[in-house]
Structure 1
Amino acid sequence: MQGIISISAKGTGYVAIEGVKEKGQDPEIDFKHLHTALHGDMVEIILHPKKYGRQTAEVSKIISRGKTRFTGVLETENKLFFLKPDDTKMYTDILIPKEYLNNAKVGQKIFVEIVSWKDARKAPEGKIIKILGRPGDNNAEMHAIAIEKGFDSELPEKVELEARKIKQDGIKSADYEGRRDMRKTLTFTIDPSDAKDFDDAISFCVIRPPRPSGTPPSQGETDLYEVGIHIADVSHYVKPGSALDAEARERGTSVYLVDRTIPMLPEVLSNDLCSLVPHKDRLTMSAIFVIDKNAKVKSEWFGPTVIHSQKRFTYEEAEESIKKATSPLHKELAILNNLAKKLTKERFAQGAISLEQ
């Protein structure tokens, strides 16, 4: 019988077994029967007789570890060094042999990986991977929080090397082949003032119905608008099976903390080649819509493109331009804002829910 084990702060384990739906009936495992199992491990268990109406069990095998790296403070006692983990579900200290101290000092915040744990009667042994700093220091604590959740601000060297090689190669003329060329279409980004990477952009142009030169518009004839939504084409650079691909899959997303961003990709990509900065060609994946003045979609197109952003707006600049006409692009922003309001109204009319109210 197998399942993922959850361990309480008191050191009692509970294993979620597929097919057991009754609340409170996950097998309970006493501390002495954990046999080195840690919170989040995939384990195999042996059922024991019920105790006070509760199914009990014992871990017979650890199939895979859910977590082997922990942050905490380096302490010492009786000439032994050990990690006092931050994770409240880690019920044992981690012994650090002297050869694995990595020049760390007692009292420092550190990041440790378990390297051996064969005897449940003894503490696991670990090695120090990184010294984070002084406990209580903002940078050290924020770094520890990120690492505990699986987001290290430092990427493996092989990932950085791959990214630097891509950056060195840059965008070649062959990369434009098979892409819709949007470089002459008005394009801009709107992001927070402190944003470092611009991963999406919007393009806009007016489509006027064709008519002979000098012929006035016919009654009821109106302009159409081409609106494009563009995101950086990361897949052009991150190839399946590469070190970059493996690291991105492991991280899953960029992490935005109060005082820092931990990017999913190396900064030479996220802040450069995959950032839709002004005045540079960038490879993108796009959704292009032709819309009338009532925000009704007349046609749509999806595919790879190349764009060239002309302007980077902050949220505040875009809003001020819409309200006070402070930007040369005021007219375009005002039209887009009007279309957005109509689309939002239509979406709510169809039953959409506002999560901000």
Structure 2
Amino acid sequence: MPRKEKKKRNKEYKRQPTLYKGRLEITRSGMGFVVVEGLEKDVIIRPNDFNKAFHGDLVRVEVTKGDAKSGRMQGVIVQVIERKQKQFVGVVEVNRDFAFFIPDTTKPIPDFFIPANLLHGAKDGQKVIAQIVAWEKNDKRPRGEVVEVVTPEKEADLAMKEILIQQGFPLSFTDEVMEESSRIPDLISKTEIKKRRDMRDTLTFTIDPVDAKDFDDAISYNKLKNGHLEIGVHIADVSFYIDEDSALDVSAYERATSVYLPDRVVPMLPERISNELCSLRPHEDKLTYSCVFQINAKGEIKDCWMGRTVIHSNHRFTYEDVQEIIETGTGLYDKEVLHLNEIARKFRAKRMKEGAINFSS
């Protein structure tokens, strides 16, 4: 290769930007740091280089000074891949044909411009929940929309909602998600039951907190002719009801979990699924995924099977119900509950003997 061409190629190679993906963290002083997995030190981002990124956003950053070897890098954000926080709490200042939304936060977030038709009844000075609907390339501030007006009677409710909003957890499900959940049939077909191990005649019950609405796991008890005890651990087969890459699937993936707050549960899935179709309520046939063990008199596991099942819960226990049976020795299904407790104690003792750590809070 001619020397001139080689020099040109090397020069072009050096121009190739160094890009990383990570989360933007903004300190109280206003400086930003992009935390990149695998790098010992974060990439420093000056406020002028945030480029519409907010605290917690997943971003792509281009290194402008330093390198990974020196460990001291400075960069500029070139892309917001995903916003952590989709909605914001703040106050609206209403003019004649438009309004500004001022976010209630210590982090550097610009005011939102809100057209009059997207105020949805919000009045000047009211506290609201708003979201970004667009942010054009050359605009200094985003265009927003009011999604909820916080009236005085909702002030107490706002504290719980703010926790969810700050963590990027959606307050409600989209119309598409709700429409999908409404289309799921209630009845389980005979064809589907034939595909599964039928355990509806096996004694099965759930154990949950007294205020629980979604019973997503159950235990079954069955004495076999060979003297072994068959114990089944069952969880609701949610995958049967949700198609891959559907709106429900995408929503559940984004939420990742149900959130338990002091006064409420914010479910990962619409209540029709979590509290009805996939709740292992007593005296109803339910589709489950199960792990079924055979255990001998010494407490040794002799066989194990895993697969899709259909069950029929005989009873719904609370923690207090089961604890009372353990302490008094009497109650509904007392022999089965006491036997299961005895086996649990054997397994726990074995775990501790083999070096398990007992965490207590």
* Whole-Å separation in 1 of the counterparts to 2:231 and 2:284: 20
Q: 1:2 to 1:114 in 2, by over 3 A?
A: farther
* Whole-Å separation in 2 of the counterparts to 1:49 and 1:184: 68
The aligned counterpart of 2:46 is 30
Q: 1:42 to 1:139 in 2, by over 3 A?
A: same
The aligned counterpart of 1:91 is 109
The aligned counterpart of 2:3 is none
Identity of matched residues, %: 39
- CA shift, 1:282, in A, is 0.5
Give the match's secondary structure for 1:103: coil
Q: Does 1:123 align with 2:141?
A: yes
Q: Choose from 290, 314, 339 the match for 2:343.
A: 339
Q: Does 1:72 align with 2:89?
A: yes
Q: 1:246 to 1:17 in 2, by over 3 A?
A: closer
What residue ranges of structure 2 are gaps of 5+ in the alignment? 1-17
**Number of aligned residues:** 337
- CA shift, 1:329, in A, is 0.6
Residues 19 and 63, structure 2, Cα contact 8 Å, conserved in 1 = no
* Whole-Å separation in 1 of the counterparts to 2:302 and 2:334: 25
Letter in 2 for 1:262: V
Give the match's secondary structure for 1:331: helix
Letter in 2 for 1:64: I
Letter in 2 for 1:37: A
* Whole-Å separation in 2 of the counterparts to 1:356 and 1:18: 31
The aligned counterpart of 1:198 is 215
* Whole-Å separation in 2 of the counterparts to 1:226 and 1:126: 58
Q: Does 1:104 align with 2:122?
A: yes
The aligned counterpart of 1:329 is 333
Residues 289 and 309, structure 2, Cα contact 8 Å, conserved in 1 = yes
After superposition, the CA RMSD in angstroms is 2.6
Residues 111 and 132, structure 1, Cα contact 8 Å, conserved in 2 = no
TM-score scaled by length of structure 2: 0.84
Residues 248 and 269, structure 2, Cα contact 8 Å, conserved in 1 = yes
Residues 159 and 247, structure 1, Cα contact 8 Å, conserved in 2 = yes
- CA shift, 1:41, in A, is 4.1
* Whole-Å separation in 2 of the counterparts to 1:334 and 1:16: 51
Q: 1:56 to 1:82 in 2, by over 3 A?
A: farther
The aligned counterpart of 1:230 is 234
State which drifts further: 67-76 or 195-204.
67-76
Q: Choose from 143, 158, 182 the match for 1:140.
A: 158
Q: 1:9 to 1:206 in 2, by over 3 A?
A: same
Give the match's secondary structure for 1:249: helix
TM-score scaled by length of structure 1: 0.85
Residues 290 and 300, structure 1, Cα contact 8 Å, conserved in 2 = yes
Q: Choose from 143, 155, 164 the match for 2:173.
A: 155
Q: Does 1:165 align with 2:183?
A: yes
Residues 219 and 234, structure 2, Cα contact 8 Å, conserved in 1 = yes
- CA shift, 1:131, in A, is 3.1
Residues 42 and 62, structure 1, Cα contact 8 Å, conserved in 2 = yes
- CA shift, 1:196, in A, is 0.1
* Whole-Å separation in 2 of the counterparts to 1:198 and 1:68: 30
Q: Choose from 291, 297, 300 the match for 2:295.
A: 291
Give the match's secondary structure for 1:96: strand
* Whole-Å separation in 1 of the counterparts to 2:109 and 2:216: 42
Q: 1:190 to 1:16 in 2, by over 3 A?
A: closer
Give the match's secondary structure for 2:207: strand
Residues 71 and 111, structure 1, Cα contact 8 Å, conserved in 2 = yes
Residues 214 and 274, structure 2, Cα contact 8 Å, conserved in 1 = yes
Q: 1:14 to 1:152 in 2, by over 3 A?
A: closer
Give the match's secondary structure for 1:147: helix
* Whole-Å separation in 1 of the counterparts to 2:71 and 2:223: 70
Give the match's secondary structure for 2:311: strand
Q: Does 1:264 align with 2:268?
A: yes
* Whole-Å separation in 1 of the counterparts to 2:332 and 2:52: 66
Residues 221 and 230, structure 2, Cα contact 8 Å, conserved in 1 = yes
* Whole-Å separation in 1 of the counterparts to 2:320 and 2:27: 47
- CA shift, 1:170, in A, is 2.2
Letter in 2 for 1:47: T
Give the match's secondary structure for 1:241: coil
* Whole-Å separation in 2 of the counterparts to 1:96 and 1:277: 46
State which drifts further: 228-237 or 83-92.
83-92
The aligned counterpart of 2:99 is 81
Q: Does 1:276 align with 2:269?
A: no
Q: Choose from 336, 339, 354 the match for 1:350.
A: 354
Q: Deviations over 1:195-240 (max 9, x none)?
A: 001000000022243xxxxxxxxxxxxx321111000111111111
Give the match's secondary structure for 2:204: strand
Give the match's secondary structure for 1:42: strand
Q: Deviations over 1:118-147 (max 9, x none)?
A: 347x33332223334449822122123213
Letter in 1 for 2:276: D
* Whole-Å separation in 2 of the counterparts to 1:348 and 1:181: 35
Q: Within 5 A, what are the aligned runs for 1:51-66? A: 57=74, 59=76, 61-66=78-83
- CA shift, 1:315, in A, is 0.4
Residues 130 and 144, structure 2, Cα contact 8 Å, conserved in 1 = no
Q: Does 1:180 align with 2:197?
A: yes
Q: Does 1:309 align with 2:318?
A: no
Letter in 2 for 1:176: I
* Whole-Å separation in 2 of the counterparts to 1:294 and 1:87: 60
